Every structure is written in structure tokens, then in C-alpha cells.
A and B are shown apart, each in its own frame.
Chain A
Amino acid sequence: MALKIVKGSIDRMFDKNLQDLVRGIRNHKDDEAKYISTCIDEIKQELKQDNIAVKANAVCKLTYLQMLGYDVSWAAFNIVEVMSSSKFTYKRIGYLAASQCFHEGTDVIMLTTNQIRKDLSSPNQYDTGVALTGLSCFVTPDLARDLANDIMTLMSHTKPYIRKKAVLIMYKVFLKYPESLRPAFPRLKEKLEDPDPGVQSAAVNVICELARRNPKNYLSLAPLFFKLMTSSTNNWVLIKIIKLFGALTPLEPRLGKKLIEPLTNLIHSTSAMSLLYECVNTVIAVLISLSSGMPNHSASIQLCVQKLRILIEDSDQNLKYLGLLAMSKILKTHPKSVQSHKDLILQCLDDKDESIRLRALDLLYGMVSKKNLMEIVKKLMLHVDKAEGTTYRDELLTKIIDICSQSNFQYITNFEWYISILVELTRLEGTRHGHLIASQMLDVAIRVKAIRGFAVAQMATLLDNAHLLTGNTQRNGICEVLYAAAWICGEFSEHLEDPMQTLEAMLRPKVATLPGHIQAVYVQNAAKLFATVLRKHDGETESQAAQETSQLLIDRLPLFVQSANLEVQERASCILQLVKYIQKLQQKNVEVAEEVTALFAGELNPVAPKAQKKVPIPEGLDLDAWINEPPSESESEDEKPKAVFAKEEPKHSRSRHTEVDEKELARRREVRKQEQANNPFYIKASPSSQKVYDAPGVEHIPVVQIDLSVPLKVPGMPMSDQYLKLEVERRQKEKAERKKKEKKKKREKRGKERKADSGPESEEDITPAHQVDIVTEEMPENALPSDDDDKDPNDPHKALDIDLDKYVPYCRHLQFIHVLHIIKPTVYWFPFQKSSKHKKKKQKKEKEEKEKKKKKRHHHHHQHHSDAGGEDSVQNGTVEEEEPLPVSQSHSVSLKQEVKVYDIQGNHQDESKVVVSVIFENKSDSFLKSMEFNVLDSLNSKLQRPEGAGAHDSLTVPFQLPPGVSNEARFVFSVQSIIMPQKLKGTLTFIVKSDESSTHEKLDFKLHFTCTSYLITTPCYSDAYAKLLESGDLKGSSLRLEGINMPFHHLLARICFHHHFSVVERIDSCASMYSRSIQGHHVCLLVKTSDQTVSIDAKCDEPSLLGNVLDEIKQTFSKC
């Protein structure tokens, strides 16, 4: 043995330490991977040795390698070994390695529970600290559940070093195990007033994080935080508190009003930019929440905007960035105050920092109005020309489109201008956003009826000059606009001046180089144009033009029939056959125009994005039910040969398609229409008819960016700038005209004005240049009400949405909690009213009643803020002489001096002792002192009193309570028999000291010792558990719970947490659990669940203890 150790340490002298490893890696730059693989081999050898120092060294090296990206998960068990070392040096390394390498999937984590528990209770605070730090990185739901109690105890540790760590880690525990929040919260809240500033700031941090997610549960803490805010000088803490208020104010506008003043004071006084920024942000948030129904706080907004302007003008890029960011928040509610700084923001567009330019762009988005849209877009277009780098230019492009199209084109007064902007944007070289421009063109052309004529003309020009856009390659992203252009020209071809020319442009051989989906649209729309041409020449017998058109198609279409793209090929061959047939008819002088046009008849209406989702499911329809019985296995086998046969057909199917004559087509169309009309689940685009508009997956087209050196100019295109000038002139003219009109008569309401018109009042003056009619999106009839299903169901914070003020019965943490808040009225002032009330309350100990009282208390708490004047008189004792008070008012007075014993927490101890933690909270306005705690002992349970004290003597509570303060004291009880639950009566006496007098007061309470409180979470391994069950010493009992609909793991967690069991083994929906009483009774549970029924078979060597524990479990679940 000794020899082995000697060998080990000699080996160790030759081992590489971390420094050697790092040096080695640096010296092997060329073959790093090879060098590291030999190092890992060495490490594997080192890990096999018994010497913990060698192991720790190896683990330390592994941690380094892990950072370099090497997988070290294989060493997880060795890491646990090093963590368990008794020496701090190694423990520290072990925990560091664990915190870097472990995650929820690491299976050895479950082995660490007891080691961590041991370290948490170590007498050495640094052992505890290291364990807490490590745990904060790798805590799992299981660890959280098992260690929550231990960590909770650490929150009241004597050393602030431990307290602050314990407080911080509680947040992680809450996230993993939300049930621990309620029991831990009182103690956490208490830490807000911890004497140590570190602990205090930790508690503020945790509560702020919690409150940010679920603010409504923390509103009751507002007064406390308000106090902290006005008293704290620590900027770190202040920032957190102010942030918290930002989250609370939307729920409580009164809080907002109160906040404005201290916040503006801070804005004026602080020199710390971080604090200033936070204050400004919160003031903005407050004002946003106040903005409805409140007189404007223009002074505060002005102050914020002013300060932000200073930030934006600062030379520090960081401040500039944040200034713009905050400005965009103000913009949402107070656009006017920001709009006056348009110059500054436009200036930021020239900043050398791209992220600042992008921020400024974001701001511009919200700053546009009908008045300035054209001007702002003009500036942006200038920037597009100047911009370096395609990413920024593309960003500009998307922003221009965003700005213009926002809220249903609200700010566009002249759509001709917008179309020209879009056309100008097509000149952008190498942009990735061709499809974006295309979709805008389509959107505008479809929805703004008045603009179609203009749009079609522009698109025809685009098509005519398509070669300029596509350049020498078809993979340019901008060619996407041709898709839109072709479709618009086809669909609205009745507006075309010269459809023939456009048709010719669409059938040029060059088109064949465009991407397939665009060609397909070209072909289809060529057919539409063809129909238009025929219609134009309708009635002319032997029309030369119509026949020429047919010939043109017959000449050009074969090129597309040869296309490799299936879609193009199919459409082309179909249309080619159709045209050939028409040509035959034409030669026979048959009138065809009408019938061809009928192919493309019908209006296209946009459908609202959520329309499908909003279709209500008719009553009695079960979408999951089979309509026909599902085919049996054997049947499907029979069908196989058929399927094989069918597969051989596709070639025929195409030729067959082409043979279908137009009448047949029309007939089928009619049939389908009928079908759809009768089908209640089909969304009808419009009552008349429907046309299918199929957009191919535009985003999937590979796009290559190309930088062309020569800017492309499309000849004959109107420049958008002209519109700006025109617009200005038009508006002036309009103004003048309106003045005239107004004199004559009141202006008539324009019936055709757009629905979305809700701009600021001054903008109403600006009339759109065209009579614009935006087609609104269609929704199905009786659509379902809007649903907020956007919340992420996986958000861990959702589970932490717990109303902490509400008393929920199943919240029993540690051994037990018993909430006592006996209201002690000021009896001697109102002898009659009070005493009777008092008695009643005492008798009613039900929880519901307590809840009510509590609510009332809160209610009055608010009152108490508002009518402070009345209270003073009470304190002076003058109320005595007043008229009998109305009940509600007297109630509020009596509650003023309430003392609350908040909760009592048991804590386990060895053998026959139980520790009870009591939190005393002074809810009154008076100082409480000389508190004495006494309990009427029973035969079984006795309060432990110091030696020499009599059996009925009170224990002095070792602190005094200033108003609004709470503190915790612990009392030890000795218990003989633990098989039955017990209640002990007790009294708390204390002196209430007000300004002028001091009175002696008394509070009665009851302590409830449940049987659960005698159980201690004790881990048990499955083999030991099996032996225990086999031994036959245990007596059984069972319990059935109905209607439990929570996931099984929650159920287990609840039993573990509230009743101190640990899970021994879990297989599917069945688990074995174990716990031990302080007197060594074994309690075993077998929990099974099916549907909503949970059955618990239990065994214990003490049947009555078991019976009581099961009763308590039953209670826990009956209250959930």
C-alpha cells in the first residue's frame, strides 16, 4: 500500500500541471489537436490514481480543455470525486469543473445531492460558498427540490457572506422548482432589510427579477421599495429598484404618480449616466402607463427628451446609441415631442457607426406623418445612393418599405409617388430584397384600386426594360420584381394602353433565362394579356390583330414548353394547346373573346392573415373523428398494386390536360365554384367568385449578390422627386381651395376616404392625391374573438406567477408553517365594539376567514396612506369623545395597531426536538418592545426554557420591532410522542410604545405540529429500500386521491416538498418514496397514478403515525 502511494507521488512530480499544459499547447500550435489528445490520455491515467491531488490536477486541466472546446463529459464522475474532497483546495477545483461542465443532462448530478447538502452545512463558510456558487450553475429541478429547504435555512445564516449567496441562488431554485417560491418568500422579503448591504442588494436583485416577470404579485412590496429608493445611495441597488417600479406601474397608476417626482429629482441630480438612463427609461414607462386618462406630464416628457438629446449629442458612441434607443420608446406615446428633434436624428444617419445609423432608422419609422413622409423618404433615398456595403443599403431599403407600408399605408397620400419609389428602388444593385419590393408592388396594385392604371403603366415599362434589371445574370435578387410586374400587367391588363407590346415583351427569348417561378408567371399572364387583346378586338370580324396575337403566342410559347422547369413547361404546353384551338376557331370566324376572358374572370381580394384560424368550428363537428372507418391492414395491402399502377401514369396525365377544351375547363370551374359555395369550410374571397393566386416560395430562390459598377437607369421612368414638388404644390393649392370652400359651405365628408385614417388632427387636412380605396382584408363571418396565443408556453417564469399575498393552504414548507395573524384591536379605546369583534375572530380560525381579513387589512393599508390626518387624532386618544363611528371606519382604526405573527416554521432536529421559527411582523405604526413568547405546554410537547426557569415562564424575544419591521426568532420544543399531530396554545405579550404613551398588549395564537413536521428528508437507495420492505416489520395502509390532474413529477415534487419524502425510484407513472421520522420510524410510499386517480400504498412501523401522515398528504392535495 505504502509503496503504491510512494509510486503515486513520484509519478506526480512528473505530471504536467495546468501551467505546463497551457505552455505545451502554446508550443504546439501546428499540431494542437494531436498534442491535446496525448494530454487527454495522460489525464485519463492520472484520474485512475487514488491520490486526490493528482485527480484534482487532472480535473483542473480538463476544465481548461473544456473551455477550448473539447468534450470532457466522460470525466463527470471524477469531477464529483474531486468535489467530495475534504480539502478546500480540491473542492474548489471540483466545483469549478462541475459548474463549467455539468448541465441538466449530466446524469451524475443526482449523486451529488448529499455531498452538496453536506457542504452547505459545513462549518467553513468558504465550503458553503463554493457549493452555492457551483450549484447556481448546474442546479436541476431535482436538486432544487431536494435542497430548497437547506438553502432557505442558509438565508438566515449568521454570516452575510453566506446569506447573500443563498439569497441569490434562491432565484435559480425558484426557476427550477416554482413551489419553493411561496414558502421562501417571507424570508426573502425580510432580507430586503438585512443590515448587510450586500445581502440587501442581493434580495433586491432577486425580487426585481421575479417581479419583472410577474409584477402583479409584488405590488404589495411597493411601499417597502419606495422607502428603499428614497433612502439608498447605492446606484447598483437604485437601478434595480427603479427598474422594478417600471414593471409595477402599469398595474398601479397611483404608484406612477408618486414616482414621477423622486425620479425627476434623480434625473436632475445624478451624475451617473447608468442611473440617469434607467430613470429616464422608467419615467417613460410610467408616463406610458399614465398616458390614458391623465393630464399630460409634458414637463417630465420634455425633461426626458432634453436629457436624451444631450446623450445623443454626446461624443460617446455608447450614450448616443442608448439615447436613440430610449427616444424610440418615447416615440410610441409622445411622437410630437420626438418629432421636433428630427434634425438630430437625421444627422445620426450620417454617423460612422452602423449600429447608430440603424437605431436612427428605427426612430424614423415612428416619426413619419403624412406631412413629412415624402421628405424623410427622399433623405433616405439619398442615403441609399451613398451607402457603402450591401447590408446597410439593404437595411435602408427594408426600412423605406417598412416606413411607407406601416399600418396599412397610413401615411401615404400619393400612391403614384410610392410606386415610383418602388420602381426607383429596383435600380439598386445586388440587393437581396427584390421579393420585398415585388410584394409591395403587388400589395399596392391589388389593394389600391385607383392606382392600378398608373401601376400597370409603370410595370409595363419595367417589363419592357427587363434586360436592364436582370443584367448579365438571372440570379440577381432584383429580378423578383419582374414577377410582380408580369402579374400586375396580366391581372389588370384592361388598364394597359398597348397590351400587344407588353405581350411581346413578356415573350422575348431572354425571358427564358429568368428563374423558373418567374417564367411561370410570365407564361400565365401572357395568356391573360392574350385574352385582353382578343377582347379589345371583339366584334371585328376577321380581326387581323387578334390573329396576329395568336400567331405570336404560337411562335413563342414552344420555347417555354421546352423549359426544364416543370411549372413553366406545364403551363406553356397547356396554353399553347389552348391558343392553337382558339386560332382554329378564329379562322372559322367564331367569336371566342368572351369565352377566353371568362377563364380569368373574377376579382381578387386579400384575406386577413388569421382568417383561417378564426373560422369557428360548428357545433357537433369533431375534427379528430374518422369520417369513414380507417382501412384495415389487409385492405391497404390490397391497394398497393393499384398505387404502383397509378404511378406509371404521369406522362399521360399531362397530354390529357392539354386536350381538355375550354368548355370543359369552364364546366369544371363552375362545378368547383358550386362545390365551394356549398362548402361551409371554404373561405370565400368575395361573393362573386374566386381566383387562386399561388405564390411560389420566393424566399427559397438562391440569390447571389453582384456588384455592378455602372448604376442602372431605366429610361422613361418618372422620378419620385417630382412627386415631392408636385405634392407640395398640390397641398398649397388645396389649402387655398379649401379656404374658399369653407366660406361657402361645410365640407362634405369624403365617403371614399380610407378606413385606417387616424393620424393626428393636423394631418386630417391633407387629402390623398387620389381617391384611394384600400381594400380591407377579409375575415370569415362570425370570426372568433382575438386570441392571445402568442405567449411562449415554455417560459420558465410562467410557473413563478404565484400570488404571494394570497394564503394558499397547501403551502406547508419545512416541518410546518402556520400562519397566525390575530388582530389585536386597541380594546381600551372602544371597549364594546371591539371586544365582541375580537372574540368572533378568534373563534373563526378557518383559513378562508383569515384570507378575508388579510385582504381587508390590505385594503385598509391603502386607506391609511390617504387619510393620515384622521389617524393622528386617534393616536392622541381624542376619538373616545367622538360620536359612535361607522363600522368601517372604526375597523380601519382598530387595525392600525395590528401585530402579526406572520408564520411559524418548524425545523428538524435530532431525536425529540423540534425548532420552530416564528416571524414577527409589526404592521402597526407604533414601536413594539419587551416581547415575551409563551406556550402552554402539553404533556407531550414542551417549550424548552433556559435552566432555572419555571415551567410556565415566558421566553423573551431577543429583539424589538420598529413600525413596519419584521424579524425572526426560533424556539426549541421537546416532543415525546410524535405519532399524533398536536396543537399548542400560546401567548405573546408586548409593550406598544407610541409617542405619548405605552401600553401592554397581548396576542393569542396556536401552534400546529403536524406529523409531517416530524419527518426528515432522508435519501434511501433502492436495495436498502427493498430490504426494508421485505423485512416485514412495516404495517401497511393506503390512500386514494381522485381528480388530481397535475403531471406526475409535480405530484412527486409536492409530496417531497411538503411532506419531506425523497424519491427512491421512479418507473413511468409509479414511484417509490421514503422518509424517516426524527425518532427513526421508516415511512415508505408507493405512489401510482392512472388518469386522474392517484393511489398511495404506504408502509410504516408505526401505524398511527402513518395514518396521520396520509391524512396530511390527502389534505395537501385536496386543497390544490
Chain B
Amino acid sequence: MMRFMLLFSRQGKLRLQKWYTATAERDKKKMVRELMQVVLARKPKMCSFLEWRDLKIVYKRYASLYFCCAVEEHDNELITLEVIHRFVELLDKYFGSVCELDIIFNFEKAYFILDEFLMGGEIQDTSKKSVLKAIEQADLLQEEDESPRSVLEEMGLA
């Protein structure tokens, strides 16, 4: 099971964090800080895995963003790498060649996509298509919510 996933920039700014086990806020901050230091210090040619505390860290860099997952001892590192890649693909499909700014400005969307892909630290759907379909339909529902409301309606006058 995945314990958490972090996205952060080369400058050490956190862009996304998802915790799949209840963790106190203070511990989260400490772990994020520590892990970022470790990962950012690694040289580009190094392998994507490292052992950290009792966890296995799998990370990969895409452009300026690091995608970093913590998985448990028994988990398969290569499939975790695959999960990261799949998530990037999903973001890419959704935003259309995604860049760091897309994730900064639409961070809630990025979360929605992640939530459709992974849940409770497990892969929810192995099909890219069905994940994207679910997101699209939920977005559609959101637009329906928003569109019929005219200004007057909102003011309670209609």
C-alpha cells in the first residue's frame, strides 16, 4: 500500500501531497522536509529508489517536478514507478501537455484526478480511459451546477 505521494519542485516547494494513512500535521511537515532534502540531494544518474525510515521511496523527476511516493516494504518498486508515470500521463491528457503551473493553479483538479486514480493508497482503476471518463463526467456535473445560475438567481431575485 502506498503511504503517501508528494509532488515538489526542484526548489523544494511542495506542489501536492496526499497521505493515505492518518499522520499528525507536525510529523507530515517533518517528513516532507526531510524527504525533500534527501531526494533533491540525489544526483540525476542515481536510481529512483531509496530506503528511508521503514519505507521505500520511489521518485521520478519530470521536467522541474519531482513525483515521490512512499510505499511499504513488500511493495513492488517498478509498479510504483509505473503508477507515477500513469499519473503523469493522466495529468498530461487532462491538461494537455501538463506543466508545473497547471498543477499550481489547478491544484484541486490535480487532486481530483489523483483521487480517481488511487484511493486509500491502492490503484483504483488500471484503465486510463475509465479514470479520465470519471473525471470528465464529474466535471460535467460541476458545470451543470454552475451554468444555470444567473446573476439574478444568485441574488435571490429571480
Q: Which residues of A contact B (CB under 8 A)?
A: 1-2, 5-6, 9, 18-19, 22, 53, 60, 63-64, 67-69, 71, 73, 87-89, 92-93, 96, 99-100, 103-105, 124, 126, 129-130, 132-133, 136-138, 161, 164-165, 168-169, 171-172, 197-198, 201-202, 205-206, 209, 212, 234, 236-237, 239, 243, 273-274, 277-278, 317-318, 320-322, 352-356
Contacts and interface: CB of A to CB of B under 8 A. Distances in A.
Nearest to A12: B154
Q: Indicate the member of B24, B29, B107 with the most A CB atoms within 10 Å.
A: B107
Contact of A67 (B16, B112, B137, B155): B16
B35 interface: no
B45 A317 contact: yes
Interface residues of B, number: 54
B65 interface: no
B48 A318 contact: yes
Given A64-B107, A198-B127, A237-B126, 14 more contacts: A9-B151, A18-B105, A68-B14, A92-B112, A124-B141, A126-B134, A129-B134, A133-B119, A198-B125, A273-B78, A274-B79, A318-B47, A318-B48, A318-B49
Q: Indicate the member of B24, B43, B49 with the most A CB atoms within 10 Å.
A: B49
A165 B96 CA distance: 27
B19 A89 contact: no
Interface string B31-58: 0000000000001011111100000000
Contact of B76 (A68, A89, A171, A278): A278
B22 A104 contact: yes
B63 interface: no
B99 interface: no
Nearest to B56: A325
A103 B45 contact: no
Contact of B22 (A18, A19, A138): A138
Nearest to B77: A322
Contacts of B77: 277, 318, 322
A209 B145 contact: no
B76 A239 contact: yes
Nearest to A198: B125
Given A171-B122, A318-B47, A71 B25 contact: yes
A201 B123 CA distance: 8
A354 B50 CA distance: 10
Interface of B: 1, 14-17, 19-20, 22-25, 29, 43, 45-50, 74, 76-79, 81-82, 104-105, 107-108, 111-112, 115, 119-120, 122-127, 130, 134, 137-138, 141-142, 145-146, 151, 154-157
17 contacts: A9-B151, A69-B29, A71-B25, A103-B23, A126-B138, A129-B138, A165-B119, A169-B119, A172-B120, A198-B124, A201-B123, A236-B126, A317-B46, A317-B48, A318-B78, A321-B47, A356-B47
A274 B78 contact: yes
A355 B46 contact: yes
A168 B124 contact: yes
A93 B106 CA distance: 12
A96 B111 contact: yes
The 7 closest A-B pairs by CB, nearest first: A274-B78, A317-B47, A136-B120, A321-B47, A205-B122, A89-B145, A89-B142
Nearest to A358: B51
A164 B125 contact: yes
A137 B134 contact: no
Nearest to A97: B108
Contacts of A198: 124-127, 130
B104 A206 contact: no
Given A87-B145, A126-B137, A103 B25 contact: yes
A136 B145 contact: no
B23 to A, nearest CB: 7
A1085 B107 CA distance: 48
Contacts of A69: 14, 29
A88 B138 contact: yes
B108 A63 contact: yes
A825 B58 CA distance: 55
A133 B111 CA distance: 11
A93 B107 CA distance: 11
B154 to A, nearest CB: 5
A168 B120 contact: yes
Contact of B47 (A73, A124, A209, A353): A353
A891 to B, nearest CB: 40
A89 B126 contact: no
A318 B81 contact: yes
A64 to B, nearest CB: 6
Contacts of B48: 317-318
A64 B13 CA distance: 13
A277 B76 contact: yes
A318 B60 CA distance: 11
B142 A92 contact: yes
Contacts of B43: 352-353
Q: Indicate the member of B49, B124, B137 with the most A CB atoms within 10 Å.
A: B124
Q: Indicate the member of B23, B79, B104, B156 with the most A CB atoms within 10 Å.
A: B79
Nearest to B144: A88
A288 to B, nearest CB: 14
Nearest to A132: B119
B112 A96 contact: yes
Contacts of A277: 76-78
Contacts of A124: 141
Nearest to B82: A274
A164 B120 CA distance: 12
A197 B76 contact: no
Contacts of A201: 123, 125-126
Contacts of A273: 78
Contacts of B24: 103, 105
A126 B143 CA distance: 14
A992 B107 CA distance: 58
Nearest to B127: A198
Given A89-B145, A165-B119, A172-B120, A239 B112 contact: no
Nearest to B151: A9
Nearest to A73: B25
Contact of A355 (B23, B49, B126): B49
A236 B79 contact: yes
A93 B76 contact: no
Contacts of A161: 134
A749 to B, nearest CB: 44
A201 B79 CA distance: 15
Contacts of A126: 134, 137-138, 141
A165 B124 contact: yes
B156 A5 contact: yes
B79 A239 contact: yes
A78 B47 CA distance: 44
Contact of B142 (A88, A169, A206, A353): A88
A507 B19 CA distance: 60
Contact of B74 (A100, A165, A212, A352): A212
A75 to B, nearest CB: 14
A138 B112 CA distance: 16
A248 to B, nearest CB: 13
Contacts of B105: 18-19, 22
A103 B22 contact: yes
Contacts of B22: 103-104, 138
A236 B50 contact: no
Contact of A88 (B29, B49, B141, B157): B141
Contacts of A209: 1, 122
A2 B122 contact: no
